[in-house]
Amino acid sequence: MKKKILLIDPPFQKFMGFSKAGIPLGLLFLAGKLKKMGHEVEVLDSDYNPKGNPYPFMTKIGHYDEYLNSLNNGSHSIWESISSQIEESKPDVVGVSFISTKLRSGLRVAQIAKEMGVKRIVAGGPHVTIRPSDVIKEGSPVDYAIVGEAEEQMEVFDGTPKTRIIRANRIQNLDLLPWMARESLIGIENYKPSDLGFMMTSRGCPGSCNFCCSEKLWGKRVRFRNISDVIAEMDDTNRRYGTQKFYLTDDTFTLNKKRVLEFTKGIRDKGYEWGCLTRVDRLNEVILKQMVESGCCMIKLGIESGSQKVLDLMNKRTNLDQARNAAKLLNSFSVPWMAYVMVGVPGETSIDADATMRFIDEIKPTYVSAAIYTPYIGTGFYKNSIDFSRVSFLKDREGRDHAIEEANHHSLKVIAGDVSREKIIEFMEFADKYNLVSKKG
């Protein structure tokens, strides 16, 4: 029977006044599938905040309390707008997406829906995939949780599943999935065309970096979408929403060189701009030349650290010379690129953090994206290296005990690793200053 389904991405950055780029891709994939089955689907991105600040890193620090305080403030306008949307949509089922940072916010959304009489609340997303027991437990408003890629487990929306936690199989043929149903986004007219250009063209990454949970989410065997289907979706998005700029969120877009060349050949004459994420050992001159000539205008690279010791601790399986070579290549093509770096991983010291800052000055990325390391569940570090006897580290100055997965970099009160607090501040300020100078130049 046809159902009314409201899928909600819970608020997080918006509570702190920040903006967030893009669209909730997972929910829009699900909406595509549900619509194809005949259901009526809407997607509410309650973190969308076009008027928010794209933050400098130091600004982020210290704002985390605003999120925590808002969680307990039932009359906050963001919660009220979610209630109003539920009231207006009158859904039979509400689906909530969880990443670890938004665990408490997602549970609050589920609670609001439950209290408003929604019959079925379903949860999914990266955090639920890794630890479903956080949403399926006594007293939780969540009725069912899907572990993994949910597109082939639609029974939770319109059937009677036998268990409350349902383990989904990995989707083997991504080309059989309907495109993301962007048209289901509530308020789509307010989105920038480039936000609607976020896409994922493959699932999985062969890497096993200790700070990352990709392997748990998608597995190591990478599944690729057909390039002609990817380009057809880009053309459709361009036609419908005027999108000229696309951002491919694949974990490592340049894994398969032949496929990258097929892609660049296919879009070369369309006049689109595009960006992607990749690893330092997955770039060479041949593909980069084609990428740039086909409109690639942003490459985000996992540099992570300027200390080989830390790269090894991370199991990054790259070395500093590979990073130097990739940087040299990118700079020689004058393509804008961003270096992702982090500070405070288990085993790292202030000397290593200094090495990273020096390394950035040496390799000269266009932008730096800096993060204070966070021990997310489902990662190698969380499993092996976090010394839980030091979990008191994660208590803030007022003694409140933050859940480890919420030990978020938005608050400097929570730090893992052996880098001094002063060095962490210096590191984040360094990134801000670097970007400021880079933008001026």
Which residues bind to ligand B12, rule: CB under 6 A?
A: 12-13, 20-27, 29-30, 47, 95-97, 99-101, 122-127, 129-130, 146, 149-151, 200, 212-214, 217, 249, 251, 371, 376, 378, 409
Position 195 contacts ligand SF4 (CB under 6 A): no
Smallest distance from the beta carbon of 31 to ligand B12, in angstroms? 10
Partner from ligand B12, ligand SF4, none contacting 24, C-beta within 5 to 8 A by type:
ligand B12
SS3 43: strand
Cβ-based nearer residue to ligand SF4, 16 or 342: 342
SS3 248: strand
DSSP codes joined into one string, 305-349? -S-HHHHHHTT----HHHHHHHHHHHHHTT--EEEEEEE--TT-B
End-to-end Cα distance, the chain: 59
Partner from ligand SF4, ligand B12, none contacting 26, C-beta within 5 to 8 A by type:
ligand B12
Partner from ligand B12, ligand SF4, none contacting 207, C-beta within 5 to 8 A by type:
ligand SF4
Query: Which tokens go with 16?
Result: 């702190």
Position 252 contacts ligand SF4 (CB under 6 A): yes
**DSSP H or E segment with residue 100:** none
Using CB under 6 A, pick the residue from 279, 410, 413, 423 that binds ligand SF4. Answer: 279
Partner from ligand B12, ligand SF4, none contacting 338, C-beta within 5 to 8 A by type:
none
Place of tokens 């289901």: 184
Cβ-based nearer residue to ligand SF4, 11 or 207: 207
Partner from ligand SF4, ligand B12, none contacting 210, C-beta within 5 to 8 A by type:
none
Cβ count near 52 (within 10 Å): 15
Smallest distance from the beta carbon of 59 to ligand B12, in angstroms? 13
Position 251 contacts ligand SF4 (CB under 6 A): yes
DSSP codes joined into one string, 255-316? SSHHHHHHHHHHHTTTT-EEEEEE-GGG--HHHHHHHHHTTEEEEEEEEE-S-HHHHHHTT-
Cβ-based nearer residue to ligand SF4, 213 or 394: 213
Using CB under 6 A, pick the residue from 26, 95, 126, 207 that binds ligand SF4. Answer: 207
Partner from ligand SF4, ligand B12, none contacting 29, C-beta within 5 to 8 A by type:
ligand B12
Position 378 contacts ligand SF4 (CB under 6 A): no
Instruction: Mark residues 150-189: x for contact with ligand SF4 by CB under 6 A, - for none.
Output: ----------------------------------------
Query: Which tokens go with 402?
Result: 């933050």
List binders of ligand SF4 among 209-228 (CB under 6 A): 209, 212, 214
Is the Cβ–Cβ distance between 41 and 190 less than 8 Å? no
Q: State the Cα–Cα distance between residues 50 and 377, nearest whole angstrom.
A: 30
SS3 402: coil
Phi–psi pair at 433, nearest 5 degrees: -65, -40
Partner from ligand SF4, ligand B12, none contacting 279, C-beta within 5 to 8 A by type:
ligand SF4
* Piece in contact with ligand SF4 (CB under 6 A), picked from 176-184, 208-216, 330-338, 397-405: 208-216
Q: Are strands 245-248 and 198-199 parallel, antiparallel or unpaired?
A: parallel
Is the Cβ–Cβ distance between 403 and 432 less than 8 Å? no
Q: Which residues, other chains included, contact 90 with Cβ-Cβ below 8 Å and sequence gap of 6+?
A: 4
Half-sphere exposure of 308 (CA within 13 A, CB side): 5
Smallest distance from the beta carbon of 313 to ligand B12, in angstroms? 17
For the chain, the maximum distance between any two Cα atoms, rounded to a whole number of angstroms, is 62
Smallest distance from the beta carbon of 11 to ligand B12, in angstroms? 9
Partner from ligand B12, ligand SF4, none contacting 302, C-beta within 5 to 8 A by type:
ligand SF4
Of how many residues is the chain composed? 441
Smallest distance from the beta carbon of 214 to ligand B12, in angstroms? 4
* CB burial of residue 381 (10 Å; 0-12, 13-18, 19+): buried
Place of tokens 């046809």: 2
SS3 430: helix
Smallest distance from the beta carbon of 73 to ligand SF4, in angstroms? 35
Smallest distance from the beta carbon of 241 to ligand B12, in angstroms? 15
* Piece in contact with ligand SF4 (CB under 6 A), picked from 127-135, 158-166, 207-215, 414-422: 207-215
Half-sphere exposure of 223 (CA within 13 A, CB side): 14
Instruction: Mark residues 86-125: x for contact with ligand SF4 by CB under 6 A, - for none.
Output: ----------------------------------------
Position 302 contacts ligand SF4 (CB under 6 A): yes
CA 83-50-196 angle, to 5 degrees, is: 95
Q: State the Cα–Cα distance between residues 357 and 214, nearest whole angstrom.
A: 27
Residues forming the site for ligand SF4 (CB under 6 A): 205, 207-209, 212, 214, 251-252, 279, 302
